[in-house]
Each structure stands twice: as C-alpha cells, then as structure tokens.
Amino acid sequence: MEVSLKVLPRDVQLCADVTTGVDSLGQFQYQDLVMLDQQTAGVIVRLEREYLEVLNMHGKVVRVKPQAIHGKKDTRFAQALDSQQNSIQVKDTVKVVDGPYASRGDAEDEKQGEIKHIYRSYAFVMSRKHMENGGLFVCKPRHLLLVGSKANTKIGDFIVKGLATPDPFSSPRHV
C-alpha cells in the first residue's frame, strides 16, 4: 500500500536519521517512561534497531539496550506541586518559571508545554520551543507554574487560593 502526502516546503526538515515506531521487541514505545535501574527513570526519546536513547531524570541522554531496561512505569495518576503549590498532573499545561529552562526576561523565549510524565520530584515536559530530544526536557515541578492558575495570596495567617470559592467554615468565627 502506497500513501502520498502533499506538504509545504516550510513544514519539512531534512533529517539523516531513520526511526521506527516501536523497537524490535515491541514492548517499548517512543516517550514511554522506563526504569533504567532501581532509582533512575527516564523517557525514551529515540528508538534504533539495537539501542534506545533515554532522557533520564537528571537531564542526560543515555543509550541502552532494551534488555537493560527494568520495565515501564505508569504515571497517569501521578501528581506534584508547582511553584505556587498548585497540584499538577500528567497532561497539564505548564510554564517554566525557574531553573535552567526558564526564560531570561524575553517573553517570547518563555517555555511552555505539556507534562508527559511525573516521577518522584521530576517532571518530563514536552514543549514545541525546546529543540533537543524531540521537544522533551526534565525539570523539578517547583520550577513550573500551572497555566491558567492564579497565585495563592497570604492575608494575615490565612492563605487565599485564587479562583477558589470562599468556604464559610474557614472563617475565624468557625475556628
């Protein structure tokens, strides 16, 4: 079966690499979160015939054989707290506000992306503005801010959450 596609020249990029959808064992896919050893996790950023390239939770890309991987992790229900103590989870859109991937003053340079995985105190984020590793990078959840959230404000001894409805039982009269 032959398929033909028409695309604009600006949408095409010359690439010398050839990849497949799944490796030869068929158990790992692109962007799966896998365990490299008992303490180290990473996301598959490239598949080759005999090797996988994995972006580990320390931000380094390591090349491993599929047999060396200790299994996949399911992170669909993982949660963490962002820089404003908002709960963030997989598929949330976040903005990088601190750390090595934060923008330095230029609003256009600001990185924003979708959380692909959360493992312990590391978030794997996919951003169109990040050119390496297929747009994937890793950072601490406290360096992120949930897009569309309002900052918590402190009034006296009380923390008022943005966009929250007032709770009558949290008033000083009911304490």
Question: pLDDT tens across 137-172, in order?
Answer: 999 999 999 998 665 544 455 555 555 555 555 555
Strand order in 33-35's β-sheet?
Answer: 33-35, 41-47, 52-56, 61-64
Which DSSP string corresponds to 13-48? --------SB-TTSS-BTT-EEESSSS-EEEEEEE-
Whether the Cβ atoms of residue 112 and residue 103 lie closer than 8 Å to each other = no
Classified by CATH at the fold level, domain 79-146 comes out as SH3 type barrels. (2.30.30)
Whether the Cβ atoms of residue 45 and residue 56 lie closer than 8 Å to each other = no
Of 97, 89, 140, 143, the closest CA to residue 116 belongs to: 89
Q: Where are the domains of the chain?
A: 16-68, 79-146
- Whole-prediction pTM: 0.71
Whether the Cβ atoms of residue 46 and residue 53 lie closer than 8 Å to each other = yes
Question: pLDDT tens across 94-129, in order?
Answer: 999 998 888 876 666 678 999 999 999 999 999 988
Question: pLDDT tens across 20-66, in order?
Answer: 544 445 688 899 999 999 999 999 999 888 889 999 999 999 999 98
Of residues 82 and 18, which shows the higher confidence score? 82
Question: pLDDT tens across 50-63, in order?
Answer: 889 999 999 999 99
